[in-house]
Every structure is written in structure tokens, then in C-alpha cells.
């Protein structure tokens, strides 16, 4: 019987294994994207709501040349159809209120050409309505200006619609006061915060039991006090609508082995 030669193996040149490999890589990519999304959900919601968080103080975007407050609105203060905002029906109560406050304050700012004097944003403790000191007071003074009073009238109407506690925080730059009445920036900022609270209560009808006045002097700046513009931005009063901290998201056990011994 003739001896058969070695059987030649058929070589698969189709590279069909690449399909399985690419499917596996796609699944892994989706898995890690989902993990990232779970961890970033809150940050994304803040980004969609607030636009750009340009300031360094509790995430407040304060009258930086009008940036932030007017973004996403038309000339009448109405949200543009293509604004980077999400459906209000899907938002928690705080974020719905943020949208309402931002809309009404924005309309007031545009109507009175105050885009660079007012801003609204969400911070760690709640909703900030930030007003420049130039809008509220004369230099070195605690007496409210007429334009400041008009703005506080609009704000008091909003505050009367919600039950939340309110904290007014007044800030100065690092320039020493020249006032014979207010010896330090502590005195000046405290008196300015009190003047806002008194106006909101006496004229705006806001319940004084809901409010607190805090003077923070120059010690919580938005920017370094190194230029006239930065000092202008640091001189402000923040009206904070307080919200309780949101619950931490649950930790999801993915079954990975612990790295600890």
C-alpha cells in the first residue's frame, strides 16, 4: 500500500476572529462609558444647567462681562430653542427653581442693561443670585441705590414664592476702607448685608425669620485682588437660596475583588 504523505492543514485567511475581537472591544468600551456616566451624572446635569462654571467660589458664575447670565437667551430674556438646557420636567425641585430664577432675573437684567452686574448659578448650598456692589451701593456706602432697590424688588417677588431659608453674603475687595463709620471691611460688608436683608424684609415683604446677613469682608474673593477688574468682580452681594444637600448616590458593587490584603 502506498504511503500517504502528510495531510496539509487548511489555513483560515478570512480573519473572522477579528469580528469577535471587535465586538468584545465594543462591549468593553460601552461598559466603561457607563461606569464613567454613573460617576459623572451630577456633573453633567450641572454643566447643562449652568453652562460654564468660570468662577472659583462655590461654582458661582458672577457677572464676568455678562458671560453666563445671557447665554442661551434671546433679546427679550426668553430661552432660545437651541439653548443647552434640559427638560424642566425631568429636574429635581432645586434645578427647576434655578431655571425659574435664572429666567426672571435674566429678563430684569436685559431690560435694565445690567447683564454685567447680575448673575445666577447653582453652588454647593443652593441657588446664588449675585449682585455687583456697583449696582447696589455707592463706593464705601451701605445705602442702597435706586437701581439696586429695583433689582431687589424683583428678587423679593421670587423669594416670596418659595419657603427656603435665605442668606445674604456681602463681600469687599482687599482695599482698606476710608470711611469714618466703617473702620474695617468686616464692618462695611456686614452693614451692607444687613441693608439688603432689611430692604427685602421691610419693602419686599420677605419673612425676616427666613433670612440671615453675613459680612465676609475680602476673605472669599472670586479672583485674586491684583487688577481693578478683579477687585470690581470681588465686590458683590450674594443672595443665597438655601437647599439641603442632595443625598449621595448609592455605591454600586460591581463584584471586583478588593485590593486590600
| Segment 73-102, tens digit of pLDDT | 333 333 333 333 334 455 577 888 888 899
C-alpha Rg value of the chain to the nearest Å:
28
pLDDT at 38: 59
Q: What angle do CA 186, 188, 194 make, to 5 degrees?
A: 100
pLDDT confidence tier of residue 36, bands split at 50, 70 and 90: low
pLDDT at 94: 80
Lowest mean pLDDT among 5-19, 35-49, 189-203, 204-218: 35-49
Lowest mean pLDDT among 76-80, 137-141, 186-190: 76-80
Q: What is the mean pLDDT of residues 36-51?
A: 49
d(CA 203, CA 187): 24
The residue ranking higher by pLDDT, 88 or 140, is 140
Q: What is the pLDDT of residues 189-240, one digit of tens each?
A: 999 999 999 999 999 999 999 999 999 999 999 999 999 999 999 999 999 9
Question: Chain centroid to CA 79: how far?
Answer: 18
pLDDT at 68: 35
How far is CA 221 from each of CA 60, 66, 216, 224, rounded to the nearest angstrom? 11, 18, 9, 7
- Is residue 32 scored above 60 in pLDDT? yes
Amino acid at each position: 500500500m502506498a504511503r500517504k504523505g502528510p495531510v496539509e492543514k487548511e489555513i483560515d485567511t478570512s480573519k473572522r476572529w477579528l469580528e469577535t475581537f471587535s465586538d468584545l472591544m465594543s462591549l468593553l468600551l460601552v461598559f466603561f462609558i457607563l461606569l464613567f456616566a454613573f460617576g459623572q451624572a451630577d456633573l453633567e446635569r450641572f454643566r447643562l444647567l449652568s453652562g460654564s462654571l468660570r468662577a472659583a467660589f462655590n461654582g458661582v458664575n458672577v457677572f464676568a462681562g455678562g458671560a453666563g447670565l445671557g447665554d442661551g437667551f434671546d433679546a427679550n430674556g426668553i430661552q432660545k430653542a437651541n439653548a443647552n438646557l434640559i427638560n424642566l420636567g425631568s429636574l429635581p425641585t432645586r434645578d427647576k427653581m434655578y431655571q425659574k430664577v435664572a429666567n426672571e432675573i435674566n429678563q430684569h437684567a436685559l431690560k435694565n442693561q445690567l447683564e454685567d452686574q447680575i448673575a445666577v448659578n447653582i453652588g454647593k448650598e443652593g441657588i446664588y443670585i449675585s449682585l455687583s456692589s456697583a449696582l447696589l451701593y455707592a463706593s464705601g456706602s451701605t445705602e442702597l441705590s435706586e437701581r439696586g432697590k429695583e433689582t431687589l424688588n424683583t428678587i423679593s417677588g421670587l423669594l416670596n414664592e418659595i419657603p427656603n431659608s435665605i442668606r445674604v453674603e456681602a463681600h469687599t475687595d482687599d482695599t482698606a476702607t476710608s470711611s469714618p463709620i466703617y473702620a474695617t471691611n468686616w464692618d462695611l460688608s456686614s452693614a451692607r448685608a444687613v441693608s439688603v436683608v432689611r430692604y427685602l424684609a421691610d419693602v419686599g415683604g420677605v419673612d425676616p425669620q427666613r433670612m440671615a446677613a453675613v459680612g465676609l469682608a475680602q476673605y472669599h474673593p472670586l479672583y485674586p485682588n491684583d487688577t481693578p477688574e478683579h477687585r470690581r468682580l470681588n465686590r458683590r452681594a450674594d443672595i443665597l437660596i438655601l437647599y439641603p444637600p442632595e443625598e449621595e448616590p448609592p455605591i454600586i458593587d460591581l463584584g471586583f475583588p478588593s485590593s486590600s490584603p
